[in-house]
């Protein structure tokens, strides 16, 4: 199958449900991608996050075109975004930013040079948009890491559509 076949929507193997179920067998950390829309702080839960390069320091996050964060990150005026690796105690924040029903949670926001980040996270990264790549129904945002901080707390894990903890 050629890239033209893929772009035209020709069936290429598995269905979306099969693909989702299969990739659900890959344990991942849980992140919240953050950015600002003027004075309003925005966040989106994402498990499609990966480190790309140490030199230069690059990461990648994949954002669904239906997500509010896609509309925000697509704006040329939005030059930076945050990545917050959630701790094992922050399941409620993952649910909150995934839009799952439940009580409104007080988000422990803090700002780094005007960019909203989430306190209590295992790690935070501030990234400058480096490259934007269209990929099917998602857009890949390659970020150049300009700032990072971390703790030794345990991360929140996601596996087979459920939260897990280390140990």
Give 158's strand partners: 28, 163
Q: Return the minimum-mean-pLDDT range out of 2-16, 92-106, 108-122, 130-144.
A: 2-16
Q: pTM of the entire structure?
A: 0.85
Q: Name the residue with higher pLDDT: 20 or 52.
A: 52
Contact of 51 with 117, CB cutoff 8 Å? no
The continuous run of DSSP H or E covering 69 comes out as: helix 68-73
* Residue 132 predicted with pLDDT over 80: yes
Tell me the mean pLDDT in the region 72-84: 96
Residue 30's φ and ψ, nearest 5 degrees, are -115, 130
Tell me the mean pLDDT in the region 67-88: 96
* Residue 93 predicted with pLDDT over 90: yes
Distance, CA of 44 to CA of 9 (rounded, Å): 27
């Amino acid at each position: 199958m050629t890239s033209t076949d893929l772009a035209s929507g020709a069936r290429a193997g598995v269905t979306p449900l099969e693909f989702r179920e299969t990739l659900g067998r890959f344990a991942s950390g849980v992140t919240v991608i953050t950015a600002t829309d003027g004075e309003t702080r925005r966040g989106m839960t994402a498990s499609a996050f990966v480190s790309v390069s140490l030199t230069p320091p690059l990461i990648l996050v994949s954002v669904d075109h239906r997500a509010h964060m896609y509309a925000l990150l697509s704006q040329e005026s939005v030059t930076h975004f945050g990545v917050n690796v959630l701790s094992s105690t922050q399941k409620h924040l993952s649910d909150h930013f995934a839009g799952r029903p439940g009580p409104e949670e007080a988000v422990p926001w803090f700002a780094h040079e005007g960019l909203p980040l989430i306190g209590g996270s295992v790690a935070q990264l501030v990234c400058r948009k480096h490259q934007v790549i269209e990929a099917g129904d998602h857009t890949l945002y390659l970020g150049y890491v300009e700032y990072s901080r971390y703790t030794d707390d345990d991360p929140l894990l996601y596996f087979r559509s459920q939260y897990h903890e280390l140990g």
